[in-house]
Amino acid sequence: MGKEMDWGTLLRESAANIRQLSLYYPVEKDAAKVTRKYPMRINPYYLSLIKEREDAIWKQSVPDLRELEDEEGVPDPLHEENDSPVAGLVHRYPDRVLLLVSNRCAMYCRFCTRKRGVGDPFKRIKKEQVLKGIEYIREHEEIRDVLISGGDPLLLKDEELAFFLERLKEIKHVEVLRIGTRVACSLPQRITDGLVSLLRRYHPLYINTHFNHPGEFTEESRRACSTIADAGIPLGDQTVLLRGINDSVDVMNALIRGLWSMRVTPYYIYQADLTKGTKHFRTDVDLGIEIFKRLKFHPSLPMPHFVIDAPGGGGKIPITPECRFYDVINGDGIEVLNLDYLEYNVLKSRLEDAGDKGAGIIVIELREIEKNKEDKGVYELLKQNHPLYINMHLNHPDELTEDVKRVAPMLCDAGVPLGDRINLIEGVNNDPKVIKELAHELLKLRVKPYYLHADSEEDGLAIVNSLRGFTTGMAVPHLVVGDRIISPNYIVEKTREKIVLRNYQGRTFEYPNTNS
């Protein structure tokens, strides 16, 4: 359904009220009360993913009377409005801001954190407001990273988006742009060649999307993600853990594996926020931790951070438990090739071998990225073998030579997600300043630091702690010591009822542990 329609038509054909939805499914008439308070929109594409009533797609999109019964939640649980120096801009962390450019979305998620304003025609975001936000960014030189969000920024027309991107790009101290959007999942038709060729003018530009369930993986969403990845735009994913939707090991494993296969980096898994009207979606924190521990993480592929966004506005606090990589076995469809450098003939034969083994995902662990940089055939080979990842082993900013700075973007432009594994070495890079600089320089090259390998847990934790919060989560690698993946412990206290968390500034926050 809707496959041939363009995105504008699909949006116009959305079910925007219960009467329209009941043309497809029998729905309780009472549900109209919900839409008077919280808007609904289910576009024909997302609607076509519903296989039956109450499935994971239905629950995310169809209004439910329980949204009106939640007496616990609050409209703005993260106190975004307190951290807004100008309307529509949230400046919570030292070096980055959230800039809201649209309050509309391709589909209104029933669990949305910004339920208080998203989709409300009276709360539309005006161009003048966004320009004031951009002015603020221009005046604050400490801001190096702008996260463009909403609602969904990709509901703007191409020209409108380009207008804002152009102004942000002019600001010297802004090094990285990010777009948070759900359309790759909720309206993949929005990812047009035209849009992507516009976006690629603003590198380094990242897109974070939002998949919650394997039922959202379709031919269209795969095409959307490959179009983005092929344009050299690193693609991340933020998933919300949702009761009855994805709160199981099997579903989350399938989700992560599916993301990897679409060249999407699992970035954050969120504990649901305490937003009014969303209580029925919240899982117990302990359940999330149990699930996370049992997920299948691969040592050569990116893994997400499990976080709680601090109630009251302290930022994202990781509750990632200690875990291990799974034992990689042959035949699991992920082939790791260890190569010193990219030499055409060697690469070709290794890729053919991998193909013969039925590899679904290929990862190249690469020692030297700058050799053979001019061989166009290499880039063609890489392009023909997606999903294909390359991991580098850069340990120090001094290793980012002119050659590396030229080759990394070329690999990226061939659609290859680039990761780095850092070895912490005494006397070389065992210094928070060095690792921070390395991580930032890598992000500018569109390389994501995946893992920090350390011999000493203490040294590794000191580094990770110095990054967390002070810089983007994208710059924070997971610490690996031996065969353990370790996260700093930000949990101060945990009882059955509540969990007390400490943020990067040392402030503490409470979140209910069980949802009853």
Ligand X SMILES: *Cc1c(COP(=O)(O)O)cnc(C)c1O
Active-site pick, 273, 279, 323, 421: 273
Cis peptide before 387 (omega within 30 of 0): yes
Q: Residues 468, 432: contact at Cβ < 8 Å?
A: no
- Strand pairing report for 478-481 and 447-453: parallel
Residue 108 interface partner, choices ligand X, ligand SF4, none, CB cut-off 5-8 Å depending on type: ligand SF4
Q: Which of 316, 436, 448, 468 is catalytic?
A: 316
Minimal distance, residue 209 CB to ligand SF4, in Å: 10
Q: Which is nearer to ligand X, 41 or 144 (CB)?
A: 144
CB 457 within 8 A of CB 432: no
Q: Is 468 in the site for ligand X (CB under 6 A)?
A: no
Nearest distance from residue 183's CB to ligand SF4, in Å? 8
Q: Which stretch binds ligand X (CB under 6 A): 88-96, 109-117, 135-143, 277-285?
A: 88-96
Site string for ligand SF4, 25-64 (x = CB under 6 A): ----------------------------------------
Secondary structure (H, E, C), 109-134: CCCCCCCCCCCCHHHCCCHHHHHHHH
User: For this structure, is 200 an active site residue?
Assistant: no
Count other C-beta atoms under 10 Å from residue 378's C-beta: 20
Tell me which stretch binds ligand X (CB under 6 A): 87-95, 353-361, 373-381, 436-444: 87-95
Residue whose structure tokens are 């690792």? 435
Q: Is 108 a catalytic residue?
A: no
Q: Which does 90 bind (CB under 5 to 8 A by kind): ligand SF4, ligand X, none?
A: ligand X
* Selected catalytic residue, list 93, 206, 267, 504: 93
Residue 213 is a binding residue for ligand X (CB under 6 A): no
Six token digits for residue 257: 């594996």
What's the per-residue H, E or C state across 127-177? Answer: HHHHHHHHHHHHHCCCCCEEEEEECCHHHCCHHHHHHHHHHHHCCCCCCEE
Report the alpha-carbon distance of residue 77 to residue 94 in Å, rounded. Answer: 21
**Are 20 and 7 in contact, with CB atoms under 8 Å apart?**
no
Residue 447 in contact with ligand X, rule: CB under 6 A: no
The yes or no reply on residue 472 touching ligand X (CB under 6 A) is yes
271 secondary structure, DSSP code: P
Q: Name every residue whose Cβ is closer than 8 Å to that of residue 253 and which is 6 or more positions away in sequence.
A: 295, 296
Out of 100, 109, 319, 411, name the contact with ligand SF4 by CB under 6 A: 109
Q: Could you tell which of ligand X, ligand SF4, none binds residue 98, using a CB distance below 5 to 8 A set by kind?
A: ligand X
Q: What are the C-alpha distances in Å from 48 to residues 15, 110, 384?
A: 12, 17, 31
- Interface stretch with ligand SF4, choices 87-95, 145-153, 315-323, 396-404 (CB under 6 A): 145-153
Per CB under 6 A, does 108 bind ligand SF4? yes
Residue 309 annotated to the active site: yes
Per-residue x/- marks for ligand SF4, 150-179, CB under 6 A?
xxx---------------------------
Quick check: 378 binds ligand X (CB under 6 A)? no
Provide the β-strand partners of residue 307: 270, 318
Picking from 238, 317, 247, 315, the residue whose alpha carbon sits closest to that of residue 281 is 247
- Mark whether 109 is an active-site residue: yes
- Judged by beta carbon, residue 279 or residue 316, the one nearer ligand X is 316
CA 22 – CA 3 distance, rounded (Å): 22
Would residue 267 show up in a list of annotated catalytic residues for this protein? no
Closest CA to 337 of 327, 322, 326, 352: 352
Q: Does 90 bind ligand X (CB under 6 A)?
A: yes
177 is a contact residue toward ligand X (CB under 6 A): no
Catalytically annotated residue among 46, 76, 112, 115:
112
Number of residues binding to ligand X, judged by CB under 6 A: 9
Q: By the criterion CB under 6 A, which residues form the site for ligand SF4?
A: 105, 108-109, 112, 114, 118, 150-152, 182
Q: By the criterion CB under 6 A, which residues form the site for ligand X?
A: 90, 92-93, 96, 98, 147, 316, 472-473
Q: Which residue numbers are catalytic? A: 92-93, 96, 105, 109, 112, 114, 273, 309, 316
